[in-house]
Amino acid sequence: MSRTSSDSQLDKPNIQKSAVYNIHGLGGSQASLSIPAIHKDVPGYRGSNEFILSDGKKSTMDHLREVGPWCRRKYQQVFRKKILYKRVPVLSWLPKYNMDDFVGDLVAGFTVGLTVIPQALAYSSIAGLPAAYGLYGSFLGCFVYIFLGSSKDVPMGPTAIASLLTFQATQGVWQKAVLLCFLSGVVELLMGLFGLGFLIDFVSGPVSSGFTSAAAFIILSSQVKDLLGITAKGNTFVQQWKSIFADIHHTQLGDAVMGFTCIVVLLLMRLLPRLKVGPPDADQQTTLQKIVNKTLWLVGTARNAIIVIVCGAIGFAMY
């Protein structure tokens, strides 16, 4: 049987094939490495014992060339229609907006404004800042939330805990408060861009509940001095109550009476939206009954603004 030339070449012992192994992590190593011959099961085929190392470091220009494709991929991921509608919800509901939605939003905005503005005035006092900063915080967040907000049931504005933390950090200096607000916004923006919202999962429920309860006690303690009309100092819970008891004999009777009266009236006005005149079914109510029920609901919802206006007028007239 005849043998081909390719078969005869396999018998030649001087034929060697080298395999190149590129290991970047060993590029700077000075140790000599060798491996045994490979492909021993193939007659006449020997692997190379030489281990060839090559330095795979990329130059600065190579890294710069990769920036363009990376930015292009990120641009395509971020500015897809689905992602854009998710990040900017106004693009999805604005084309379908009609006059009925406008009337509902007008009533809701008026109602929420009567609630948020008095709260913002109180929160500015907790933060140790002028009342104007509370007003700024009550409506600027709402304007931004029009374009970026995804929930129609969440009023934007200052909160009690944020006001307390602001006072702890700024001690009533408005320049520091502005800087703190800016830096907080930058951090939240970066966390949103990088999808770091999952970090809140590492904060347990008891820790969050305990922090909220402690903040409530501190806020309550900080308002007692204003309720009694005294000048008490202190930043911590113990310091505040120690100062209150030390100065309690200077309590202003008029301030205390008006303060406690407002608290009682506010608690009673919370019950007004639950009161219903006439049949439970709105279709069976007369026009007068509907007007009365709507008025009770509006007064109960706007109770904070009503108390602020009435008591402010009384205080201005008496003092």
The domain ranges of the chain are 15-57, 60-87, 88-198
d(CA 108, CA 142): 13
Confidence of residue 264 (pLDDT cuts 50, 70, 90): very high
Give the rounded distance of the alpha carbon of 33 from its chain centre.
55
pLDDT of 196 over the 50 cut: yes
More confident residue, 142 or 74: 142
- Could you tell me what percent of the chain has a pLDDT over 70? 76
Confidence of residue 38 (pLDDT cuts 50, 70, 90): very low
pLDDT at 99: 85
E-assigned strand segments in the chain: none
pLDDT of 28 over the 60 cut: no
pLDDT of 35 over the 70 cut: no
Average the pLDDT over each of 96-100, 157-161, 204-208 and give the range with the smallest value: 157-161
Q: In the predicted model, what is the mean pLDDT of residues 223-230? A: 84
pLDDT at 96: 84
Q: In the predicted model, what is the mean pLDDT of residues 187-192? A: 85
Structure tokens at 159: 């909160």
- Residue that is written with structure tokens 């590492």 in the block: 202
- Residue that is written with structure tokens 């931004």 in the block: 144
pLDDT at 13: 46
pLDDT of 169 over the 80 cut: yes
Q: In the predicted model, what is the mean pLDDT of residues 302-319? A: 82
More confident residue, 23 or 80: 80
pLDDT at 268: 92
Closest Cα partner for 303 from 153, 114, 157, 107?
Answer: 114
pLDDT of 25 over the 50 cut: no
Cα separations in angstroms, 90 against 93, 96, 188, 307: 6, 10, 20, 35
Q: In the predicted model, what is the mean pLDDT of residues 3-16? A: 45
More confident residue, 194 or 262: 262
